[in-house]
Amino acid sequence: MSTRTPLIAGNWKMFKTCSEAVSTAAALVKSAADVSGRDVLIAPPYTALYPVSEVLAGSRVSLGAQNLFWEKEGAFTGEISAAMLASAGCRYVIIGHSERRQYFNETDETVNRRIQAALKGALIPVFCVGESEQARDSGQTFSVLDKQIKNGLKSFFAKDLEKLVIAYEPVWAIGTGKTASSRQAQEVHEFLRSLLDKSLGRELADSIRILYGGSVKPDNIAELMGMPDIDGALVGGASLNADTFSAIVHY
């Protein structure tokens, strides 16, 4: 039996003003109050982090950001550091989301620097990997993931990564309504765990949480969570409404 605590995370992407974020967070705090044995996380846009942190204080819901920059401070207009996120109440930070890779030219190398900065700043990285539709169709799913994991986690030791969370998000399943089947997702999660075993050891591979993301909804979460290597979900669209996200949290 796995001893990994399930983590249900909501990535709000570029949605919600401060007041919208605060009211959704407040509704979620109420509806998640009875949840036990699992962790819950929301990642609002930067501007809403601090006001949402005040709503989440003392609740079962943790706060995360959607990205960070690796430098401590400096003339980097538009960027946000790990210390700034921590000071706004964040415990987690999403890193390497496919939308960042696709639209903002993030690479495995910059993802690696961001993970380093997050860990140095005592934030828990939610490190995203996933193959494109084209990669899957041409039989390259495992080689793409192998490269993303090896480069993203380059030069880390197992002891650095105890808290790390990995999110497997097949690009073709994000926002498309096409969920990977629980069998497809399990196959990849098992592969990711075996990669971690080979490069960082069994103990870490057994303890790291691997989330699935891509069109997770209240009606498919239970089946996904029934798979032995799926330890939670990273939810986009369905996390924006407190009732819908709460139904997922209560799978």
Catalytic positions, please?
A: 97, 169
The residue among 10 and 89 lying less far from ligand 13P, judged by its C-beta, is 10
Of the candidates 80, 176, 84, 83, the one whose C-alpha atom is nearest the C-alpha of residue 130 is 176
Residues 207-236 binding ligand 13P (CB under 6 A) are: 213-216, 234-236
64 binds ligand 13P (CB under 6 A): no
Measure the CA–CA gap between 35 and 55, rounded to whole angstroms: 17
Binders of ligand 13P in range 97-136 (CB under 6 A): 97
Which amino acid, residue 84? M
Nearest to 52 by CA among 83, 100, 85, 75: 85
Q: How far is the CB of 74 from ligand 13P (least distance, A)?
A: 29
Nearest residue to the partner ligand 13P, using Cβ: 236
- Considering only 64, 121, 152, 237, the residue that binds ligand 13P (CB under 6 A) is 237
Distance CA 68, CA 132 (A): 24
Q: How far is the CB of 37 from ligand 13P (least distance, A)?
A: 23
The least CB distance from residue 213 to ligand 13P, in Å, is: 4
* Element spanning 26, H or E: helix 18-31
The DSSP secondary structure of 192-248, one letter per residue, reads HHHHHHHHH-HHHHHHSEEEEESS--TTTHHHHHTSTT--EEEESGGGSSHHHHHHH
Q: Of the two residues 232 and 236, which places its CB atom closer to ligand 13P in the complex?
A: 236
Query: Where in 84-103 is the site for ligand 13P (CB under 6 A)?
Result: 97
**11 contacts ligand 13P (rule: CB under 6 A):** yes
Residue span binding ligand 13P (CB under 6 A) among the ranges 73-81, 103-111, 158-166, 167-175: 167-175
Dihedral angle at the C-alpha atoms of 223, 200, 191, 236, nearest 10 degrees? 50
Give the largest Cα separation in the chain, rounded: 49
Interface residue list for ligand 13P (CB under 6 A): 11, 97, 169, 174-175, 213-216, 234-238
